[in-house]
Chains A and B, each alone.
Chain A
């Protein structure tokens, strides 16, 4: 097990390096082709060469390679790697520490993910299990229809309708009914409130989770149906175990592997949902920060954040792998 983890970590470091290098090349090329973000700083003014030079230096773009299309700018890349190795993730274009940005943006995104994951697990496990347990029943059909409907409704539509149509009357009603100082008005605030992060992120998180839950419900249903037909379940039943124990120990547990895999994989996907949710609900989070950074050719910030995200994703994958072993006694890592 120890050696397995070590090997995975080594692979992860290699992958991280590769991702960073490709991203470095892409952002460098973007700057070389599109023009220097330093010039954008001046807007309509015509800067003197000294002003341009000073802003380029401030943005960390003073290396001449940024003016030569096709030059891979290895010098700045190696320099950046050196910094990263010392735990310094550098700054964004305007000199704000990347770690500072992440420290203030990441908790909000994590809050969102917590709500999303809870929604997935609760909806997926409950509805999926019900549909599998009573296959072909009206509730199975109902659940499957619901999951198709959920799929048909894009997340941004769901969020926009919630924000534009529902929040204003609902938060007004909640204020009148429960009072200004109670919880409910915060749950239905039209946008994020940094003073009450959990309360204002809950509903958007549930909605984002809801939008992604359809595939989850179907996955749980399919994999549990598989288990219901399995030999080990037949054996368990023939041993005379009661149905509850059969379902919990032999069906749910054995069908959890694909579910755990899916949680790991959709973690990365949830980030794209986070960009939308954060944008609409005005949550200061990683998705929105990354989005802005790419738009403004902020090489340092893009690389810093992607490095962190890649590291987290790889970590989640490793945790998922380890969870396999915990869920399925047949799986052992050497």
Chain B
């Protein structure tokens, strides 16, 4: 009878499977029930701790879970006070931040000066957190860091746990002293890393990284890591920026997979098709009406190994490479509407100080490119130009097109070198040819696109490029009396970059999303490219 038992087991398992399969459907979006907004998380997301959130997805989630001191105007991209009553300084070094009264966290703790101070001290004291580097500008940051020897080993742990430049003056007043003047300080304060945290959160950071305790209009109810995040409206929210029609939000994790079929099947509110489905989407007249677009802020650019000898040491050579690349055609063919060719280092119209056309040699001009290459002494015979990049398929397509463009117009043979550990190779100055770079800004100010070129010494950094004049200009900007004046100084720094030409701008990402019939007032954040949930209206 044994085989009979096996057969019974198999049949039984099938019955169980189908019964379990069938018995669960329940809470979909009903017409009159609570409205759940259904969004996506496109990358691998590891944390929801404010001080450690640095990818577009957790930034977008925390944007509705937390309220920052400032928020950004979608039109002008300028910061305006939100949780802050005022942010003032006479000298751009000592800043006084006043906080609105009677605000609380979702667990009832007060959102006061202490809530910000504990958050900032914690992040500043933990160099392993993503936002740690923001606090380098604060007085007392250095004293908080452990002492490290040349081998990278910790020799002495720092006993200091608080930034000396951060003082809680009274319940609602915070005083900040910076190492040096920085006119863009208030702009920086809207970034995820500057959100306040509750004491309960710091008491168990691990739990808080999965289920944050916010002060914004939505509270996280559950994050099933790798699968989905659920949030519901926080009933006691008192400030005004909250979407009235939305009761809950569900974010599904896709980790690089396409969510388009789910959108088409009506299971998602927002999505964008993969290249294969793009043409069909664009030709659908009904769908085309539900497309939101915005200039994106992320810049992809090409770096040279200026830490190594080679033809790239000559600026004419770098100009030749730049002018040999047909950005217009490449981006048009490959981007699927999600990028624009770049001719500046700071996104034009995307952030204060961003202007198109600062890169004189970013135009496609094969003749001028050839002339520049000749002036630089040509490309060594028999050598191949290597192009370093990550394993990302889209990027490989782009850089293959760039390589083809260079080869066709300058006769330089090239070889793509995709590498999964591309970023580590880059920071260890391991490339011996041109390589891909990408910059996603942290806050809307042109300074943020430029500051990482300031490496402080000859030969350091990803590119091995150092220019004292450039760093002085940035410092002048930091010390300017007003933000407007600072922006101008930063623009002058960009002009030095344009003149010295250590890197080549290639393309800016552009935001684009299709949305479901029930959504209205869909605006993309010019900065993160994500849908601005707080501005949405839903019609059922």
Contact = CB atoms under 8 A, between A and B. Distances in A.
Contacts of B382: none
Contacts of B128: 51, 54-55, 57-58
A326 B3 CA distance: 10
A14 interface: no
Given A37-B424, A96-B225, A199 B25 contact: yes
B253 interface: yes
Interface string A62-79: 101001000000000000
A216 interface: no
A172 B265 CA distance: 7
Contacts of B25: 181-183, 185-186, 196, 199
A225 B252 CA distance: 50
A52 B262 contact: no
Nearest to A192: B227
A256 interface: yes
A310 to B, nearest CB: 22
A68 to B, nearest CB: 11
B264 interface: yes
B461 interface: yes
A248 B3 contact: yes
Contacts of A5: none
Contacts of B438: 43-44
A34 B421 contact: yes
Interface string B154-178: 1000000000000000000000000
Nearest to A59: B128
A297 to B, nearest CB: 7
Contact of B21 (A190, A198, A253, A282): A198
B419 interface: yes
Interface string B419-440: 1111111011010000001111
A190 B261 contact: yes
Interface stretch (B10-18, B86-94, B194-202, B397-405): B10-18
Interface in A274-289: 279-280, 282, 284, 288-289
Interface in B443-470: 452, 455, 460-462
Interface string A109-146: 00000110010011000000000000000000000000
Contacts of B20: 198
Interface string A175-203: 10000111101110111011110110010
A301 to B, nearest CB: 12
Contacts of B228: 194
Interface string A37-53: 11111111111111111
A295 interface: yes
Contacts of A54: 126-128, 132, 146
Contacts of B484: none
Interface string A246-269: 001100110010000000000000
Contacts, number: 188
B438 to A, nearest CB: 7
Given A118-B17, A168-B264, A288 B255 contact: yes
Nearest to A165: B261
Contact of B24 (A104, A122, A199): A199
B424 A282 contact: no
A210 B132 CA distance: 51
A327 interface: yes
Interface residues of A, number: 81
Nearest to A179: B25
Contacts of B254: 282
A194 B224 contact: yes
B539 interface: no
A215 interface: no
Nearest to B420: A295
Given A53-B127, A104-B227, A40 B424 contact: yes
B257 interface: yes
Contacts of B267: 189-190, 193
A44 B452 contact: yes
A199 B18 CA distance: 7
Nearest to A35: B424
B284 interface: no
A163 interface: yes
B421 A118 contact: no
Contacts of A180: 28
A164 interface: yes
A36 interface: yes
A171 interface: yes
Contacts of B146: 50, 53-54
A304 to B, nearest CB: 15
Nearest to B154: A53
A51 B425 contact: no
B518 interface: no
Contacts of A53: 127, 146, 148, 152-154
A151 interface: no
B185 interface: no
- Listed residue (A35, A95, A256) with the most chain B CB atoms within 10 angstroms of its CB: A35
27 contacts: A36-B424, A43-B423, A43-B438, A45-B133, A46-B452, A48-B145, A49-B148, A50-B145, A50-B146, A50-B148, A51-B132, A51-B133, A53-B146, A54-B146, A57-B128, A57-B154, A96-B46, A115-B17, A171-B265, A190-B265, A194-B224, A195-B24, A198-B24, A202-B21, A256-B3, A284-B226, A292-B255
Interface of B: 2-3, 10, 13-14, 17-18, 20-22, 24-28, 44, 46-47, 54, 126-128, 130, 132-133, 136, 145-146, 148, 151-154, 206, 224-228, 252-255, 257, 259, 261-262, 264-267, 277, 391, 419-425, 427-428, 430, 437-440, 452, 455, 460-462
3 shortest interchain CB distances as A-B pairs: A35-B424, A190-B261, A34-B421
Given A53-B153, A190-B264, 8 more contacts: A34-B421, A34-B425, A39-B427, A100-B225, A101-B225, A195-B26, A256-B3, A284-B226
Interface of A: 34-58, 62, 64, 67, 94-96, 100-101, 104-105, 114-115, 118, 121-122, 163-164, 167-168, 171-172, 175, 180-183, 185-187, 189-191, 193-196, 198-199, 202, 248-249, 252-253, 256, 279-280, 282, 284, 288-289, 292, 295-297, 326-327
